[in-house]
Amino acid sequence: MIFTIPNRKIAALSNGQTNKPLLLMVHGWLDNAASFTKLIEQLDDFHVIAIDLPGHGKSSHRSADAHYHLLDYVHDLHCLVHAQGWTEFSIVGHSLGGIISSMYCAIFPEFVRRFVCIESAGPLTETESTSIEQLKKAIISRIDTNEKVIKHPKDLESIVQSRQRVSDLSAENAMTILRRNITIDAQSGAIKWSTDKRLRTISSLRLTQAQAENLMEGIQCPIHFVLGSRGFSKVNTLIAQRKALFKDAKSTIVEGGHHVHMEADGLISEIIIQHCS
């Protein structure tokens, strides 16, 4: 499934249940819509659309003179909503997708009924005093990445093993994600990355704590936070720090790591059904 928004294409996976309530899914950094495959199969009560963020999976890359700013992902999401004429839906966001979705819920509360936030608790922050250092690192990382030659994979097994070394993913779950982040030439069998190498550059600026709090206070819909028992400890800390900001929120800890939605899909699909129905 391909959607068209200004200047780019947004690829997606869907269960095709177009007569059911809409449920959007937004994945994490360097993942794609395939990370929600197991959940999609269990959510027949909804019209599920799991998107590939720009630069990820099968979606378009940003133009050569652009970069991947957090705020622009929020813009992309609303461009899609606007283009499709969607007016009421729920959102499931994982990791980076949870950050993007939390910001969207705050900015456009009139569109979002319910929000399930997996292994995320809103934007990460830095103090104003880090601005110079952060921006310098970002500019240098952009130049370095631009000059770097892309090393395309020799085989699927090697990139699965590489992803496992830097994540909590099983070989099966890593393969599920990585197959959608590559293209395979039909004749030669050569593998190439379809993801944009600029995704690995450093963010130019982070929000301050006050900015993040203002956004989180703006969320009107009920939120269900889902945390992996072996997930990112920083998410637990942020939820504890920000719980007073949310008008209607609860959290559940599920056995699993940062990609808990791929490990405990049955339990998390039930949480989504109960929260979003």
Could you give the CA distance from residue 161 to residue 175 in angstroms, rounded to a whole number? Answer: 9
Q: Write the DSSP symbol of residue 142.
A: H
Q: Which region, left, alpha or beta, applies to residue 173 given φ > 0 means left and ψ of -120 to 50 means alpha?
A: alpha
Looking at 35, 59, 90, 95, which residue is catalytic? 95
3-state secondary structure of 260: helix
Could you give the CA distance from residue 29 to residue 14 in angstroms, rounded to a whole number? Answer: 20
Query: Could you tell me the two tokens for 37?
Result: 């495959």
Q: Write the DSSP symbol of residue 65.
A: T
Q: Which amino acid is at 138?
A: A
* Closest listed residue to residue 114, CA positions, set 32, 46, 54, 51: 46
Mark whether 131 is an active-site residue. no
Please, what is the Cα angle at 36 between 80 and 172, to 5 degrees? 140
Residue 94: which H helix or E strand, with range? strand 89-94
Active site residues per annotation? 95
